[in-house]
Chains A and B, each alone.
Chain A
C-alpha cells in the first residue's frame, strides 16, 4: 500500500505549462530522499482548472497545489510529504477566496460543480484499467449484458439523457431506432471530432477516463445490436488517441472487447479513425462520409444514420460526453440517481468550457439548470479586472449571445434555445464591456463561413455576404438597410440550409442584433464603436483633467503619437495613432478614453 497518491495533471493544458518537468523533478526529489516507494505518482486527467496549472492533488488529503514550478518540488516533498505540513505558498489564492484554499471543495471554482462525467478525471490513472475497474468501471457493462437490449434503451430513455453533441436528441430513443432497424451488421460511432474551437471537454474525458467511453460504446453496442465501433477522433488530439489505444488494448486483454465478452456471446470490435479536423466533419453525416474515406460533406436526412449509417449499415452516433454518462446510468440504480440532477427537460450534468473575460477559466461540470450567474460569478469568480459583464456566447460559434439582462437564465437545452442560443458543445465565452458585438458576430461568422463545406448555396454564398456586410459595418461603411438585409439573409440561411452548420451559423448575428441592436445602429448611423474595437469608428483621447503626465503611455506607443510635457497632461495625435490599444492598457489612472471620432475628451454616451 502507498501512503499517498500524488496526482499530477497530465492532460494537454498542464502538459503545455510544464507538468512533465514537474513530475520529473518530483520523482528525482523522492528518490533523493529515498521515499520513492511510499508514494504513487500518477499522471492523471484534467481536473478542469487548467488556468492555474500545472496542478498536483495529493490524496487522501485532497490538498490542491497549483501554478507549480520544478523548483517547488523539494519544498513540497520535505514539508508536506515528510513533514506532514501543507505548503501554504503553493495553494490556490484568488480574489474570490479570503485565505488560500487547501482542499478541492474550498476552492470557489469547484464549489457549484457536480461531477458525473469528470468523476474519474484527475482521480484515476487513465492508463490503468484496474483503477477504472476499482472505481466501479465495467460493472454497468456486466449488468447490460444480462439485460434485454430494448430494456437498456428504455432505461437510458427513462433517465432523460439527451445527446451532449449539440442537438440534445434523447439518447435512449436514438438507440431504440438503431436497435429496431433491420440488418445484422450495425455500428456504434463515437463522435470525438470536437470541432468547436473553444471546447475541450471531450478531449479531457478521453485523456482522463478513456475506459468510460469504451464502456459507454459497449453498452450502446449491446443496446443497438451493434458489434463494431468507430471512435472518430480529431488528429490534433494525439494524447487522447494514445490513451484510447492503450485502453483498447487493455480491454482486449481483459476480455472486455473482442469475441464473447464476459462469456455473454456478445462481440465487439473497436476501431479508431483519425479525423482531418474540419469543423463540419463533426456533423454526423459528414462524419460518416469521412469514416468511409470520402470528403466530409453532409448529406440530407432521412435516411438517418440509424437506418443508413456508416458503410450503409444502421449506426448510432453519440458524442463523447453522452457516452461517458452511460456507465453511470446503466449501473444498478443509476438511472434514478441520474434523474435527480437537472431540470424537467434536461437531466444530469453538462460540462462547460468557460473562457473569455472571466477570472477562472477551465472546464466546469455543473448540473443542468445552473444559471449563467452561478457559472460566471460563483465558479468563474466574476469578470477579469472587475469590469462589467456584458454578454456570454453560449454554444460555440453557432451558438448565440446572451446579454447581461438574462443573467438568471438557467442553462439547459430549452432555455438556451428560447434565448436564441444553443447548448452546442457547451462552450461559454464571457465578454466584458470592451467587447464589440458587431466584431463578435463577425468573428464567429468568419469561422463558420470558412468551415462551411461549400455544398449548399445558402450557407456557402449567404454566409459570405453576411460577413461582408458585417465587415462593412465595422469599417464604418454600413448603410441603414444592412440590418434588414442581414436579418432576411440570416433567416433564409437558417430556413433553407442543408445541415446544422448552416441552420445555426447565423445565430451569433441574429442574437447580437436582437439584444444589441443599438450597437449596430451606432456603428451604422453614428460611426461609433463604443467598445473601442472597430478601429475606424472611435478614437483614443487622453482625459486632460486627470492625466498626470506619467509618460507610461508614451513609452509604449509604437508610433510616437503621444506628446506632452512631463507631469503635464498628454495628448494623442489622431493622425498618427493606429489605435493599437497599447496605451490604454498601460495607463494606471484610467485617463485614456474611447470617444467618437472627432469629439474631444468628453466621453461619448
Chain B
C-alpha cells in the first residue's frame, strides 16, 4: 500500500498506512504526552492524555491508537485539546496524593511533568480520594496504589512480557485498582520481582525500597554496566550517588535486553556494598588472618611461589580463574600463570558446563550458542527441552514467550509444569531423564516422514547414515514407552519443529556428564542439522551458561589446552606468536584440568594454587574432597571480594574488586563483547584486579606496563583473530559479537552461516540409556543459574549477600 500523507500542526508528512498519529507526530519531533502507551504492548488507549483534534472527526481521538488517514489534518495543541488534557490532569490530581515533595519519583514523574507543562497546579474537583493500604510486604519494592493512575502498563508487562501474571485490574468504576488477585499483598502473588513494572510506571506508585531517601534523579550519575549474574549479559545502568549504587535501570536501547531485566539484574547488585567485603590483603599467621600491606602480601606470595616453583617445577603451580572476572582480568590471569611456565590454568565452574561445551564443539566445531538471543523472538517454532528459562535465563524466556505470542509453535518438553506451558502449542511432560529418547524419537519421525532438509544434509553435514541407523529403533511407539508420552505427541513435536521455516532449540548448558549430558547435547545438534536449522537467522541451538562471563573466560584461554580464541598450544605457530608478544617461553605441555586436580589424589602434583574469584569449596560436587585437596596444598592464594569458604582455607587472601568498581569487558552467551564502566571507587585497600595482576607480574619480574584495561584489550585483540576488529572505541558505542575480524566488520549475529567451524556438521549416533537420577540430597535442588535439577553448585557467593536471597534460593553466583 502506498504512503499516507497528512498534516500535523501545519507540517506535512508521509507515513506508512497503519502508523498511529502519535508515531507520525514523533517523526516530526512533535511531543504528545502519553501515560499508557508502550511500544511493546498492544494498543491500550486508556489514559486519554494523548488526545488530539482531527479536523472533521466527531470527537477527539487518542493519537496513540488512532491510525493516520489520508489527508488528515491534525492539531496536537489546539485549545480544545489543551482543555481536554487539563481536565484530564485535573481529574487525576483530584484523586492523587500530592506528595511530590517527598515522592521518590519527583523529577521523572510524567504526571508531575505534564501538570507543569499545562500549568495544572491544583484541581477544581473535590470529593472522594482513594485510600488504599500501602503494600510493603516484600523485600524489593513498595506499592502505593493511591498514586497509581491506572495506565495498565505494569499489568501488560507482567502478563505479556514476563508471563508472571502477578497483577491485574480489580474492581470497577471509581474503585478500580491494580493488584494481585483478591487484593493480596504482592508477596503472596506469583510475582518474580523482575522489576519490570517499576521500570515502566509513569508515576511514583511503585518504588524500589533501596532508593528511599537516597537521592533525586538529577543528583545521580548513570553509569553503563553489565549484569553480573547470568550469561545473557543484560545491559544495565547503575545509578550512583556519593560512591554508592542507589538503583539500577535496564538499558532501553540494549539489543540484548531491550529494557527488560530479571530479579538478579534489577535487585542483585547490592552485594557490592556488603559489609562482608574483604577490603585489605590478609595473611594467615598462626592460624588466623591478619591484615597486611600490599607489599607484605605480594612479598609473601612471590617468596612462596618461587620456592615451590624451584623445588617442584612450574607444573606444581595451578591457577583457577573465574567466569565472573572480566575478559581483561581473565586474560592477564592466564598470562601470568602461563608466564610462570605452566599451562595449569582452568576454572572449576566450567565443570558444570563441560558436556555442553564438548557436545557443541564436536558437532559444530564451536562450543558457543549459535545465534543471538533476540532472534528467538522472530522464529517460527521453538523446542524448549530440559530447561526452564524463566528460572535460569529470564530474558530468554521473555523472547520465547514473545515468539509464541506472535504465533510461533512452542513445544515444551519438561517433566514438570513450567510457566511457558501457558503459551505453548504442545506440552510434553516426559519422564525426567528421558529427554534423549524423545530427541531420538523426533529424529526418527523427521527421517521416516522425509521432513529433513536433504539438501542441507547432503552439502553441509556428515554421518547421516549412521544417525539414520541409530534412530531406527526409536519409533514414536518405542519412545512413548520410555518417556511416558503419547506416540502421537512425539510425532507432532517432530513435525512442528521440522516443518517450520525457522526453528530454534532452547535448553541449558547446565547438563552434567553423569546424566548423559554430552549425548543429550549431540541429540539436540542432530535435530538442528537434520532440518537445516543452524547457520541461519532465527534458528540454532541455545545452551546458555549460568555465569556472566563463562564465554569470555573460555575465550580468554583460561583453559589448560588452548589459549585465547581456542588457539591450540600444540600448534608451534601459536606458541611462537604468544612467546614473541609476551616475551616468555610458552610451555607445550597441556595443563591439568580443575577436575583432575581435585580428583582426590592426596599426592597430587599440584603444590600451590592461585584461585581468582572462584569458590570451589562451596560449589564442588564433593565439597569435602575439594576442601581436603586445598588443605593439602603447600600454598594457596585466593583473590575474592568475600571471605568465601575457599578463601578461608587460603594462606593469603587478596581483596578483589567488584564488577562496578572496574572498567572491563564481558562476553555474553551470544558472543557479544560488552564494555562495563567504572561506577564506584573500590572500598578500602581494594584495587581493580587487573592492577593487582600487573603488580604481581612485575614483582615476578615480568615487564608488564599496561596503563589500563584498554591496553590489555588491545593486546587481546591483536592476538585473537575472533576479537581483532573489536576495540574500546567501538564498544563504547555498543557491544560487538565475535567473530569480528576487522575494524569495519559489524560482528557476527549467528555462527556457521556458510560452513561450520569444523567444516561439516557432524551427526552423532547417541543411544538412550536409563540413568539413575542423581541421588537427591539437600543440594540437589534446582540450580538457579542453569535451571538444572540436581545441580550441586549452590555457592550463593554473591546472591546470599544480596536482597535477592529473599526470593531466590540456592544460587550459583
Contacts and interface: CB of A to CB of B under 8 A. Distances in A.
Interface of A: 278, 280, 295, 297, 299-300, 302, 449-458, 460-465, 468, 485, 488-489, 492, 494-498, 503
Contacts of A295: 168-169
22 contacts: A299-B44, A449-B174, A451-B172, A452-B172, A452-B174, A454-B171, A454-B176, A455-B46, A455-B169, A456-B45, A457-B47, A457-B91, A457-B150, A458-B88, A460-B173, A461-B174, A463-B173, A463-B174, A464-B173, A489-B87, A494-B59, A496-B59
Nearest to B18: A302
Contacts of A460: 150, 173-174, 176
| A-B interface, 6 closest residue pairs, ranked by CB to CB distance from nearest | A454-B176, A300-B45, A461-B91, A300-B65, A468-B127, A464-B174
Given A295-B168, A457-B149, A496 B48 contact: yes
A496 B172 contact: no
B558 to A, nearest CB: 50
Given A295-B168, A465-B125, A496 B88 contact: yes
Given A280-B172, A455-B46, A464-B128, 18 more contacts: A295-B169, A297-B169, A299-B45, A300-B45, A450-B173, A457-B48, A458-B87, A460-B150, A460-B174, A461-B92, A461-B94, A462-B91, A464-B95, A468-B128, A492-B84, A496-B51, A498-B46, A498-B62
A452 B91 CA distance: 15
Contacts of B149: 457
Contacts of B62: 300, 496, 498
B152 interface: yes
B734 interface: no
B83 A485 contact: no
Interface string B288-312: 0000000000000000000000000
Contacts of A496: 48, 51, 59-60, 62, 84, 88
Contacts of B44: 299-300
Contacts of B48: 456-458, 496-498
A454 B155 CA distance: 14
A453 B435 CA distance: 47
B49 interface: yes
A318 to B, nearest CB: 24
B790 interface: no
B1 to A, nearest CB: 14
A67 to B, nearest CB: 40
Given A457-B49, A457-B149, A496-B60, A302 B173 contact: no
Interface string B170-183: 01111110000000
A158 B150 CA distance: 45
Nearest to A464: B174
Given A455-B46, A456-B47, A462-B91, A485 B171 contact: no
A468 B123 CA distance: 15
A489 to B, nearest CB: 7
B253 interface: no
B516 interface: no
B67 interface: yes
B79 interface: no
Nearest to B174: A464
Given A300-B45, A494-B59, A497-B48, A453 B176 contact: yes
Nearest to B80: A495
Contacts of A495: 51, 59-60, 80, 84
Nearest to A446: B173
B43 A503 contact: no
Contact of B87 (A450, A455, A488): A488
Contacts of B168: 295
B124 interface: yes
Given A295-B168, A454-B150, A465 B91 contact: yes
A454 B169 contact: yes
Nearest to A494: B59
Nearest to B172: A454
A415 B601 CA distance: 98
Interface in B587-638: none
Nearest to A312: B407
Nearest to B93: A461
Contacts of A465: 91, 94, 125, 127
A302 B91 contact: no
Contacts of A278: 172
Nearest to A301: B65
A455 B152 CA distance: 8
Contacts of B65: 300
A529 B83 CA distance: 33
B172 A457 contact: no
A492 B43 CA distance: 22
A453 B172 contact: yes
A495 B794 CA distance: 59
B703 to A, nearest CB: 67
A450 B172 contact: yes
Contacts of B125: 465, 468
A280 B44 CA distance: 17
A462 B45 CA distance: 16
Nearest to B67: A302
A503 B149 CA distance: 20
A462 B95 CA distance: 11
Contacts of A450: 172-173
Contacts of B45: 299-300, 456, 498
A300 B63 CA distance: 11
From A280, A297, A460, A497, name the one whose CB has the most chain B CB atoms within 10 angstroms.
Answer: A460
Interface in B164-216: 168-169, 171-176
Contacts of B94: 461, 465
B47 A454 contact: no
A457 B46 contact: yes
Contacts of B87: 458, 462, 488-489, 492
B787 to A, nearest CB: 29
Nearest to B87: A492
Contacts of A455: 46, 150, 152, 169, 176
A58 B198 CA distance: 70
B60 A456 contact: no
A485 B95 CA distance: 17
Nearest to B53: A495
Interface string B94-117: 110000000000000000000000
Contacts of A463: 173-174
A230 to B, nearest CB: 21
Interface in B396-419: none
A297 B168 CA distance: 12
From A453, A458, A461, A488, name the one whose CB has the most chain B CB atoms within 10 angstroms.
Answer: A461
Given A300-B43, A300-B45, A489-B87, A457 B92 contact: yes
B806 to A, nearest CB: 30
A503 B59 contact: yes
A353 B662 CA distance: 76
A521 B422 CA distance: 58
Contacts of A297: 169
B66 to A, nearest CB: 8
A454 B173 contact: yes
Nearest to B89: A457
Nearest to A296: B172
Nearest to A498: B45
B590 to A, nearest CB: 58
A492 B51 CA distance: 11
Contacts of B95: 461, 464
A458 B50 CA distance: 12
Nearest to B59: A495
Interface in B111-147: 124-125, 127-128
Given A300-B45, A453-B176, A458 B169 contact: no
